[in-house]
Structure 1
Amino acid sequence: MVQKNLDELLAGVAPAVSIRAADVVERRKEEGDSVVYVVLDDDPTGTQSVADLPVLTTWTRDDFAWAFSTGRPAVYVMINSRSLAPADAERVNREAVTAALAAAGEAGIDIAFVSRSDSTLRGHFPLEPATIRAEIEASSGASINGIVVVPAFGDAGRITIHGTHYAGSATAGFTPVGETEFAKDATFGYSSSYLPEWVAEKTGGDIPADDVLVLDINTLRTDSAATLDLLLSAQDARIIVVDIVTEEDLLLLSMALIAAEKQGSRFIYRVGPPFVRARIGQDVHAPLTEAEIAAARGDRDLAVGGLIVVGSHVGLTTRQLNTLRERRAPAEFEIDVRQVIDSGGVEDYIEKLAADVAGALDDGNVVLRTSRTLVTGADADSSLDISRRVSASVVDTVKRVLAAKPPRFVVAKGGITSSDVASKGLEIRRAVVVGPMLPGIVSLWTGQDGPAAGIPYIVFAGNVGDDSSLADVVDKLSAQN
């Protein structure tokens, strides 16, 4: 793998511009921009960059009415489409867009759609933004000028420079994302790191790389007029990829988008986690304090220990799990993947496993994990089917544990895992994201309904943080015992 340090990558790049989130809020007020952003999140980890916003795991018209009634500038909708086959991903996007448009019409508010996906480029692209576009145009007749692609997630070491997307860190260096383990994903793999070529690759050549607009970092940082002109030039849902390194770059982009939308342009956004934070002018929330965590917890009777559910298989997750073992030595229980994808005896197996986990929570924290050997199918669809069956066994186990012994907290590690644990295992329909557990990453939700109300729920992506991050989060949560 080719690694470069940040200084090498930024050679010849204009310095970052000083700008505050408050400046975006003020510009929105000046321009009368009251749009509410409906974030269709393909797994729950998109909430890790924001705070104090409503979250839905179901998307009926009534659910949206509740979310819009909070008066918040954005609402997150956990459609969990990254775990679905393409046809199902298209269906849930259509359902959510239809319900959101209907509820917004009744509430008399303007909405725009964000297709939030992975900062390492995994997910249903171009299917999801194309589906959102089709539903908007069919429902309202409004045309979409551009699809703005912003995968950067600086808090987690994902940056885009001169059209090329990188993953890494300032200390370890940065690697073109197409050369990382993320690009080898069994379902959403790819080879290109230069985003216009990635678009061409993912569209099977239907959109040539030369047709993709690139908003270069030097233009973004030094020429607001040229930035606006590029955005305004987009027609017929043309794809625009954007260079981003810092939070200030995202805020500059937000200012330009406000101006472009004021002049009539309409966009759909395909983005990584921090885009929404900047677009609504929300400050980076400091990691939650012990007092804030305590306030998110209800006064119900809970177990001594918390439940840490680990489904992600990326190398970073395995290293984080090893650090947690060394530091806190939690009890561990494994869901044997090969046993749960074999139809025989699964019910009895899960029933005994859940009883053992619930019993161990009386003594302290418990890790419930899938076996670390990744089992894949012969093709992308069969790999997704295995993932869904494994996830179903995780959900069933968590649901039984919750009924028997509500944990002090629940941490879910991995995007698909965290979505299914929230919506099915804990039966959360409506929640509020309180804020991040670590700087810019790992969010705490508080459920507003269901059997898990009053239990802090931690959404922890598989591919963020360093080797100690999981142990650090569990330390902070365990300090509340």
Structure 2
Amino acid sequence: MSVIKSTDTRLVDDVFKGIPEVDRNAVTEMLKSELADLNKKIIVLDDDPTGVQTVHNISVYTDWSVDSIEKGFAEQNAMFFILTNSRGFTAAETEKAHKEIAENALEAAKKQGKDFIIISRGDSTLRGHYPLETEVLKETIESGSDIKFDGEVIVPFFKEGGRFTVDNIHYVQHEDHLVPAGETEFAKDRTFGYTKSHLGEWAEEKSNGRFKAENATYISLESLRALEVDKIADQLLEVKDFNKVIVNAIDYVDIEIFTIALIKAMKAGKHFMFRSAAALTKVIGGVSDKGLLTREELIKEESGNGGLIIVGSHVKKTTEQLEELKKCDFIEFIEFNVHLVLDPEQFKAETERVIETCENLIRSGKTVAVYTKRERMDLGEGKKEEELMLSVRISDAVTSIVQTLNVRPSYIVAKGGITSSDIGTKGLEVKRATVAGQIKPGIPVWFTGEESKFPGISYIIFPGNVGTKTALKETVELLDK
């Protein structure tokens, strides 16, 4: 297999125009038939709360105790999510959590007498603790059972976020162009950075050369669109030594065709680990399409209180969306000067100011947007650990806004993956939520459980890197109209 080196930015239309259509009805019927025989519980581990971007009426558990996993197994649904929030963890914390999850999943599966597959849902722009997470899962499951994993399937395609894989290169859509992922701001992430856009080379880079690009199996768009299901299944049957399977995709139908072949290979005895974005989970979980949520579905009772928007993410897209949001005259904006974290007394006073202002405004019927100071804190070279500790302190302060709130907002929007995870688990104290669906493509909504601080509230989880420039503004306008 020749490895394609080209990483030029390409026009979307130029990339997509030569790709043939396929009989979608035939694919739907074939998929339905294969899924009916799958008979495995699907456990999706979500490294931040945005991974439910494509599903609805699915449970999300915020811990991985044997009890919670057993509850997931007992559900009628084929699939459930566990929020790990591991993108906010150190490598050591991530390793510990994934070892526990794998051990507890094995124990629950044994008690329930049911097989399972684990999908490690990671960021569609390739950030996160990879390959650490899937390797810990693999080793723990293999040492605690007779399962041996043949390979790892890598599927970062996520249509709603404009993430496509063509000729084995993963692209991020920016307006009418596709930019190779390795050339985006996401690839320059200080913790999870990378340089390669070709997924075989990316896996080689991330594994420090242990898994070579030339040993990967590549599932081409040509093969998928020609409905070569048996040929793709044969490719999967040849995979061994935990080598990587790279799936090209520009539309859900490509994932559907691949899943048909994948289930055939699994039925023939193959075992795979999965690192994917949100699209694969919808398809393999058999989740139906659902329209975007309406205000009537989200705001069940008119309390007269304002909403609460918290903006934490610092990616460029979030800052652009915040600037658009500032055009809304019905919102009161509060800048949270988190750089005061370097002075504990001043930071405590600043946090208290923000909380008190929020409380008073929401109670008076005003919607409030709290946003962290946009400049990133940079302590200089070799200060990564110190920066991480400060960022945890900042996150705790942001979370405390929700934690200490005495008035119930009409809704809560959290912008940014780690921000939304901390607010969901620590601020709202959610143990189990139901995914209501999406308010905009790729922007999920939880209905919080009875045990939470505000039971049944609409909690909008807005990923930092998803949506058009005006998407945040349009979301809030819908909720506030």
Cα distance change on mapping 1:125 and 1:288 into 2, 3 Å: same
Cα distance change on mapping 1:167 and 1:16 into 2, 3 Å: farther
Equivalent position of 2:286 in the other structure: 281
Quick one: which of 417, 427, 430 aligns to 1:428? 430
Equivalent position of 1:268 in the other structure: 273
- 1:199 paired with 2:203, answer yes
Equivalent position of 2:194 in the other structure: 190
Cα distance change on mapping 1:342 and 1:468 into 2, 3 Å: same
Contact 1:182 1:189 in 2 (8 A): yes
The structural deviation recorded for 1:183 is 0.9
Equivalent position of 1:236 in the other structure: 241
Aligned residues: 469
Counterpart residue type for residue 263 of structure 1: A
TM-score (norm 1): 0.93
Q: Secondary structure at the residue paired with 1:344?
A: helix
Equivalent residues in 2 for 1:321-470, closer than 5 Å = 321-361=322-362, 362-377=364-379, 378-379=381-382, 380-401=384-405, 404-439=406-441, 441-448=442-449, 449-470=451-472
Partner Cα distance (1:57, 1:83) in 2? 14
Equivalent residues in 2 for 1:17-56, closer than 5 Å = 17-19=23-25, 21=28, 23-29=30-36, 32-56=37-61
Tell which deviates more after alignment, 343-352 or 427-436: 343-352
Equivalent position of 1:126 in the other structure: 131
Q: What is the CA deviation profile of residues 75-130 of structure 1, one whole-angstrom value per residue up to 9, with x for unaligned ones?
A: 11110001111111111111222222222222222211000000001111110110
Q: Secondary structure at the residue paired with 1:54?
A: strand
The structural deviation recorded for 1:7 is 3.1
Contact 1:16 1:249 in 2 (8 A): no
Cα distance change on mapping 1:387 and 1:327 into 2, 3 Å: same
Counterpart residue type for residue 186 of structure 2: F
Partner Cα distance (2:462, 2:106) in 1? 30
TM-score (norm 2): 0.93
Contact 2:229 2:260 in 1 (8 A): no
**Identical amino acids, percent of aligned pairs:** 33
Counterpart residue type for residue 206 of structure 1: R
Contact 1:56 1:78 in 2 (8 A): yes
Q: Secondary structure at the residue paired with 2:246?
A: strand
Unaligned runs of 5+ in 2: 1-6
Cα distance change on mapping 1:7 and 1:352 into 2, 3 Å: closer
Tell which deviates more after alignment, 172-181 or 326-335: 326-335
Equivalent position of 2:178 in the other structure: 174
Q: What is the CA deviation profile of residues 132-159 of structure 1, one whole-angstrom value per residue up to 9, with x for unaligned ones?
A: 1011101113101111000010111100
Tell which deviates more after alignment, 324-333 or 40-49: 324-333
- 1:3 paired with 2:23, answer no
Q: Secondary structure at the residue paired with 1:123?
A: coil
Aligned-pair Cα RMSD in Å? 1.9
Partner Cα distance (2:296, 2:29) in 1? 26
Q: Secondary structure at the residue paired with 2:45?
A: strand
Counterpart residue type for residue 265 of structure 2: A
Partner Cα distance (1:341, 1:24) in 2? 55
Quick one: which of 119, 137, 141 aligns to 1:136? 141
Partner Cα distance (1:238, 1:208) in 2? 8
Contact 2:159 2:252 in 1 (8 A): yes
Counterpart residue type for residue 159 of structure 1: F
Q: What is the CA deviation profile of residues 331-386 of structure 1, one whole-angstrom value per residue up to 9, with x for unaligned ones?
A: 12222221124433433432232111111112311111111111245455444333
Q: Secondary structure at the residue paired with 2:370?
A: strand
Counterpart residue type for residue 84 of structure 1: F
Partner Cα distance (1:100, 1:345) in 2? 45
Counterpart residue type for residue 194 of structure 1: H
Tell which deviates more after alignment, 263-272 or 20-29: 20-29
Tell which deviates more after alignment, 343-352 or 200-209: 343-352
Partner Cα distance (1:232, 1:76) in 2? 28
Counterpart residue type for residue 448 of structure 2: G
Unaligned runs of 5+ in 1: none
The structural deviation recorded for 1:21 is 4.8
Contact 1:303 1:405 in 2 (8 A): no
Contact 1:340 1:393 in 2 (8 A): no
The structural deviation recorded for 1:284 is 2.6
Partner Cα distance (1:408, 1:115) in 2? 33
Contact 1:168 1:174 in 2 (8 A): yes
